[in-house]
Structure 1
């Protein structure tokens, strides 16, 4: 799972990235394009259920799910035509699964805003416009080759031309491709081009320390906009999170409590990213390890097994499943089985978030 952090210059992207990845890099200067190459970090996805499972199983190690974050340089108006660092950074966005757009929702005369004023919806419009223009360029470049191949009678190429034209017509209405209804085959073609505006978006409202829950008017503007597009909004104070990231665990907990927060931003963001991407977790538990695995909502037992190893999916026989609640009540798997709360599920079983599983398969 990979998410790209984007936004206008000086909105707090790199500060947030460094906080989330516990980076100790020097504080970035207050000017655009301080990120010269996209920084990448692999972070563990916080999930308190892992510790609870481990308290009963006593494994040698605990392995949480992983999230790859990519900090991409600030995008400015005209980026699709090469302004700022232009297409170089737009191309990095094509490789991620979801876009996290950091939107400035605080006033500070000491931090220059590239547009001269703080306006969350206008900031989003600038980024979205540049991504749409970049997609238009990509489709303009792709359609000629597809049309030439289609003239030879190639059925796949004809389908490709139809999909490209459908996307072009949608973008001409100044609408991102994530709003375009596509069937499975069409979506596969669009995904093959790495269309920027087809990717799901999560908005992070970068707030100041006096508005940690995002109740201020700037965040409300952002929420109203996001609600119309079906996107989630997570308020985060990047400055505070960067300060918390520099502390040891005990001091982090104390500081969070002092400002009225129950958990750091990474936990909140991780859940929001899962929701944005339509993902959930299941667990495997044994003496060697307790581990979280990431799967799409609606995945079947064999598909979930395939995340561990493709052979597990091919040779899937059945999955033995129990819940965290059953583990807490009965404490041991043998007791769960004896109580009749360990279920045997077949190939049609649709996985549920938090399932604890053993897969049986033919080698």
Structure 2
């Protein structure tokens, strides 16, 4: 399962956000903590109602809580080697930034600096090794050039994801497992009285950035669904930001969702963006991928309008797709197979 690394300074509130997203107790101490976050999804909820399903199952993704980063002056001081290892294992990074008395952009710069220092050490080690190897293997020249480009950017304090390296160059850097070569998302932890400024605070931090009051969101997440609306009204909030944050994080990981529905269960299945039908069939069970024949597919909105899977079939609204079909986010799918 792809997982997201949750990173922040010691008083950023990222532990409370981890708790709100996963439902686990707020972590303490200096050890990384793993949790699983459900992905709120009205599509599977509404399909469950349509099919009168006995169970409704949401997609999930893994979150790794990384204890608060203590800024250091050289690689490894702010993020110890154990925490660096945990973060390198993550597929994407979510920065939680303070806003009370500080500029969130300064927090972001502090966190990025720690990652840049660690990446610079990794790149320099790899570059020396590959330069020596290139003397006997000229095919390594493109990787060496990409490493040199990355070294120059990192030495200037520039994360790889904000540098001028091309997508092809960044692909060549994959064996180095660079922290700043991962997708990133920023979340600003707002004071309650600044909730009305959320969009303006988040805007300078890039696409997908969000500003939330973590304390308020944590309180709401701990309530029964029936009580949440009243609390949202109390704080003057139209809806919780957590579902949107979870979806942004999920998409950051390169994950998408297809759906199945029936009387037994309606379910959201997580798959790699760009996957074709047989691979998605394998998400359900390996036998379905091995014996894949075809997929019957319909968009979730059209299925809801029609009212049932049998009715959609009778009306000829189900598309028959083969092995080359690239499954779309929100497709409702039934797999035909033979083993």
Q: Is the structural similarity TM-score above 0.5?
A: yes
Q: Alpha-carbon deviations, 1:72-130, whole Å to 9, x = none? A: 122233265332553332222111111111111234xxxxxxxxxx1211111111111
Q: Does the 8 Å contact 1:205/1:214 carry over to 2?
A: no
Q: Which residue of 2 is the match for residue 276 of structure 1? A: 252
Query: Which structure 2 residue ranges, 5 or more long, are not aligned?
Result: none
Q: Which residue of 1 is the match for residue 6 of structure 2? A: 5
Q: Which residue of 2 is the match for residue 145 of structure 1? A: 129
Is 2:184 the partner of 1:201? yes
Secondary structure at the aligned position of 1:212 is classed as: helix
Q: Alpha-carbon deviations, 1:317-363, whole Å to 9, x = none? A: 32101122233233221210121211112233232221100122343
Is 2:161 the partner of 1:181? no
Q: Which residue of 2 is the match for residue 31 of structure 1? A: none
Q: How does 1:301-320 map to 2 (within 5 A)?
A: 301-310=277-286, 312-320=288-296
Is 2:114 the partner of 1:130? yes
Secondary structure at the aligned position of 1:214 is classed as: helix
- Picking from 132, 141, 144, the partner of 1:161 is 144
Give the Cα–Cα distance (whole angstroms) in 2 for the partners of residues 308 and 362 of structure 1.
15
* Aligned length in residues: 336
Root mean square deviation of aligned Cα: 2.6
Secondary structure at the aligned position of 1:43 is classed as: strand
Q: Which residue of 2 is the match for residue 346 of structure 1? A: 322
Q: Does the 8 Å contact 2:119/2:178 carry over to 1?
A: yes
Query: Which structure 1 residue ranges, 5 or more long, are not aligned?
Result: 29-33, 108-117
Secondary structure at the aligned position of 1:235 is classed as: strand
Give the Cα–Cα distance (whole angstroms) in 1 for the partners of residues 29 and 79 of structure 2.
10
Q: Does the 8 Å contact 2:76/2:118 carry over to 1?
A: no
Farther-moved stretch of structure 1 (337-346 vs 78-87): 78-87
Q: Alpha-carbon deviations, 1:132-181, whole Å to 9, x = none? A: 111111122223333444444384x5554344334223323433222421
Q: Does the 8 Å contact 2:56/2:265 carry over to 1?
A: yes
Secondary structure at the aligned position of 1:140 is classed as: helix
Q: Does the 8 Å contact 1:81/1:87 carry over to 2?
A: no
Q: Does the 8 Å contact 1:80/1:87 carry over to 2?
A: no
- TM-score by length of structure 2 reads 0.88
Is 2:312 the partner of 1:329? no
Q: Alpha-carbon deviations, 1:235-283, whole Å to 9, x = none? A: 2111112222333332223212332334434311112113434432111
Q: How does 1:1-40 map to 2 (within 5 A)?
A: 1-25=2-26, 35-40=29-34
